[in-house]
Amino acid sequence: MEDIVINGLLIEIKELTSIKYPAGHWKRKKIFIHDVAGSGLKKPETLAIVEYLYEEGFIEDRRIECEVLEPLD
């Protein structure tokens, strides 16, 4: 769907086709936060990113599943 950069973090919002909800439904979406620096994002930082995405209209609901991806060694 969309790629966004927030504070140097790449954020992807993807629609998953394996979920049994109508196209465009918020439960079909997932947020991937790429922590390329391996800084170890804490829960409050992740929640702040989700809140920003919601406030700016990138996502429809704050309950969208979110996953932080860290670099492989």
Domain definitions of the chain by residue range = 2-69
| Confidence check: pLDDT of 23 > 90 | no
Q: What is the pTM of this model?
A: 0.85
The C-alpha angle 54, 64, 36, rounded to 5 degrees, equals 85
CB–CB of 70/33 below 8 Å?
A: no
Q: Letter for the amino acid at 18?
A: S
Question: Over the stretch 51-71, which tens digit does the pLDDT of each residue have?
Answer: 999 999 999 999 999 999 987
71 close to 33: Cβ distance less than 8 angstroms: no
| Structure confidence at residue 12 (pLDDT) | 95
